[in-house]
Amino acid sequence: MPRIFPVDEARPDSGPPPIFERIAIVGFGLIGGSIGLAVKRRWPSALVVAVDRKDVIETAMRMHAADVAGDDLVMGAECDLVVLAAPVRQNIALVEQLPDYLPGAALVTDVGSTKAAMMGAAAALPGRLAFVGGHPLAGAAVGGVEAARPDLFDGRPWMLTPGTGASDAQVGSLERFVEGLGAVPRRMAAADHDRLLAHLSHLPQLVVSALMASVGEAVGEGGLALSGRGLADTTRLASSPPGIWRDILQTNAAEIARALDELIARLQAVRAGLDRDEAIDRLFTAAAAWKRRMPPR
């Protein structure tokens, strides 16, 4: 196996010793790029290897979010941590290719918004490639590497879903790594994660998209011109591009369908109670009580 890149003698050896010396980030968008920037912030001596399309890695290099970059998975060959940061179904496809490109031992993780499908795919990895699923609960209104920020994960939860192939020590290393990026690690079973995110993220996104489409069709542009801040805030997520959502929805369809069924049943009950003070009071009181228990933002 040829050395893909020599260890760069010129890199600073100041700063704390990195938990992982060479980190490949495959898929260098908002999350991948922010991981690169956060790694360089915390461990200047760690080597960040960006793998993505040519135009993306050019931007990544300009932003100093990576030390070396290329458009080939072979770039990850000598890394001790490989982070899959493409959309979910691409990550799943990548996991199947990894054994051909990574001849040595490595810890592999991902940052996808659904976990059970990915854990299923990762179960087929050879023993030398330990896998721990990951999902940083952080984002921004605009995606892409240009929007990457070193502080994107500061104070945010980072879910970790250990599989069967990773030792406790490896999970612990990954926990300390995401702490170094500013996040708060949180272990959870993949199925629990997917059920939780179906409610916290996937259901709200679908409801907002459906509401926006319904309201727009019903009142048209002239009607929307009369809308206020309430509808504007409620529908902020309606701007989400379909790209990553295709993958999220299809890899978590069963949990999302269950959550949608619950909500549809509740809306039918609301409709049946429109003429009764008690039914209205009950709905508004329950909603306000849960809203108060949400973290202040």
Size of site (CB under 8 A) for its own copies: 86
Distance CA 6, CA 65 (A): 19
Angstrom CA distances, 186 to 13, 22, 31, 157, stand at 30, 24, 18, 7
Applying CB under 8 A, which part among 78-86, 123-131, 133-141, 168-176 lies near its own copies? Answer: 133-141
**Contact track, its own copies, 167-206, x by CB under 8 A:** -------------------x---------x--xxx-xxxx
The nearer residue to its own copies, 100 or 217, going by C-beta atoms, is: 217
Interface with its own copies (CB under 8 A), residue from 44, 120, 139, 143: 139
- Is 212 a binding residue for its own copies by CB under 8 A? The answer is yes
**Cβ pair 83, 23 in contact under 8 A:** yes
Radius of gyration of the chain, Cα coordinates, nearest whole angstrom: 22
Torsion region of 222: left, alpha or beta (phi above 0 gives left; psi -120 to 50 gives alpha) = alpha
Complete edge-to-edge strand list for the sheet that includes strand 106-110: 68-70, 47-51, 22-26, 81-84, 106-110, 129-136, 157-162, 184-187
- Is 45 a binding residue for its own copies by CB under 8 A? The answer is no
The nearer residue to its own copies, 100 or 275, going by C-beta atoms, is: 275
Q: How far is the CB of 179 from its own copies (least distance, A)?
A: 16
Q: How far is the CB of 30 from its own copies (least distance, A)?
A: 14
Burial class (CB in 10 A: 0-12, 13-18, 19+), 292: exposed
Distance CA 26, CA 269 (A): 46
Instruction: Give the number of other Cβ atoms within 10 Å of residue 210's Cβ.
Output: 12
Q: How far is the CB of 67 from its own copies (least distance, A)?
A: 30
- Is 297 a binding residue for its own copies by CB under 8 A? The answer is yes
- Is 142 a binding residue for its own copies by CB under 8 A? The answer is no
| Interface with its own copies in residues 14-33 (CB under 8 A) | none
| Interface with its own copies in residues 235-294 (CB under 8 A) | 235-242, 245-246, 249-250, 253, 256-257, 259-264, 266-268, 270-271, 274-275, 277, 280-281, 283-294
**Contact track, its own copies, 152-171, x by CB under 8 A:** ----xx-x------------
Distance CA 212, CA 141 (A): 17
Interface with its own copies (CB under 8 A), residue from 138, 160, 171, 174: 138
Distance CA 76, CA 264 (A): 46
- Is 12 a binding residue for its own copies by CB under 8 A? The answer is no
Q: How many residues does the chain have?
A: 297
